[in-house]
Amino acid sequence: MASASSLNTLIQLAKDGADQIGKRLQQLSAERKNAESQLSMLDVYRLDYAERLQKATENGLSASNYQNFRQFIATLDEAISQQNKIVAQMDAQIEDGRQQWYAEKRRLSSFEALQTRQIRQQILRDNRNEQRASDEISATMYRRVHYSH
- pTM, entire model: 0.73
- Length reported for the chain: 149
Whether residue 50 contacts residue 73, with contact meaning beta carbons closer than 8 Å, is answered with: yes
Domain boundaries, the chain: 4-107
Tens digits of residue pLDDT in 4-29: 788 899 999 999 999 999 999 999 99
Residue of 77, 68, 94 whose CA lies nearest to 42: 77
What class is the 4-107 domain? mainly alpha
Tens digits of residue pLDDT in 49-73: 999 999 988 888 888 999 999 999 9
Tens digits of residue pLDDT in 73-93: 999 999 999 999 999 999 999
Flag whether pLDDT at 113 surpasses 90: yes
